[in-house]
Amino acid sequence: EAGVVQSPRYKIIEKKQPVAFWCNPISGHNTLYWYLQNLGQGPELLIRYENEEAVDDSQLPKDRFSAERLKGVDSTLKIQPAELGDSAVYLCASSLAGAYTGELFFGEGSRLTVL
Amino acid sequence: GQNIDQPTEMTATEGAIVQINCTYQTSGFNGLFWYQQHAGEAPTFLSYNVLDGLEEKGRFSSFLSRSKGYSYLLLKELQMKDSASYLCAVRDYGGATNKLIFGTGTLLAVQP
């Protein structure tokens, strides 16, 4: 079974440029998350989807960040314009509602460097 | 408020036993997870505790005390490949499904 797939793995851009990250969750997982992870820190939740609905986006900086999950499957996270402080790893994860542990399955992440 | 504390770094010797502690204060509690994360890789699930007590899975065990807001991850017979960051995460009440809050992680270095 395929895991959570993210692309691109690495992205280098100059500040003020836009960038987008794509995530394909595990088949059948209705909950999808975007986390941000800075070096030496734990993941921080940006947004959580239940199917196509964003149920928790309180930590998403909405002035520059946006996300969508059309048809309740794949998701895209966009930053426009990017700032130097946005350099981090953006992790996508998915989980199955109703499962006993309900653990999150993470993708390998998209590492963003803003110059 | 929400707060999860764990040591920043630990060092242990190959073949030994190490215990990584985690204390938490959250507005709600619906389970505690431990994840392992090797450098440059995705976090992977290790263990889950929702009731008090010890859960054992091979060389890894995890303990939970809800009244104390405390958990630990015990790694036995350490191997070099166990060198990684170990993340403690608490599932908070925030609706019908998961809202995981992560600690900053404990970087474990296993030495020969």
DSSP E strand boundaries for B17-103: 18-25, 32-37, 44-49, 53-57, 60-65, 70-75, 84-91, 100-102
Among candidates A40, A41, A104 on the partner chain, residue whose Cβ is nearest the Cβ of B98: A104
| A43-76 pLDDT, tens digit each | 999 999 989 999 889 889 999 999 999 888 999 9
In the structure, what pLDDT confidence band is assigned to residue B97 with cuts at 50, 70 and 90? Answer: low
Using the structure block, give the residue that is written with the tokens 């191997």.
B79
Q: Which residue of B has its CA nearest to A96?
A: B97
Contact B44 A106 (CB under 8 A): yes
- Using a CB-CB distance cutoff of 8 angstroms, which residues of chain B are in contact with residue A101? 31, 33, 45, 48
Per-residue pLDDT, averaged over A66-93, amounts to 95
Contact A45 B100 (CB under 8 A): yes
Contact A44 B89 (CB under 8 A): no
B7 to A19, B19, B60: CA distances (angstroms): 34, 11, 18
| B33-53 pLDDT, tens digit each | 999 999 989 999 999 999 999
Contact A102 B98 (CB under 8 A): yes
What is the count of residue pairs from A and B with beta carbons less than 8 Å apart? 60
Contact A95 B97 (CB under 8 A): yes
Separation between Cα atoms, residue A67 and residue A76, nearest integer Å: 6
- Residue pair A97/A104 in contact (Cβ under 8 Å)? The answer is no
**First CA to last CA distance, chain A:** 37
In the structure, what pLDDT confidence band is assigned to residue A1 with cuts at 50, 70 and 90? Answer: low
Candidate from A102-106, B85-89, B98-102 with smallest mean pLDDT = B98-102
Smallest Cα distance from B42 to chain A, Å = 5
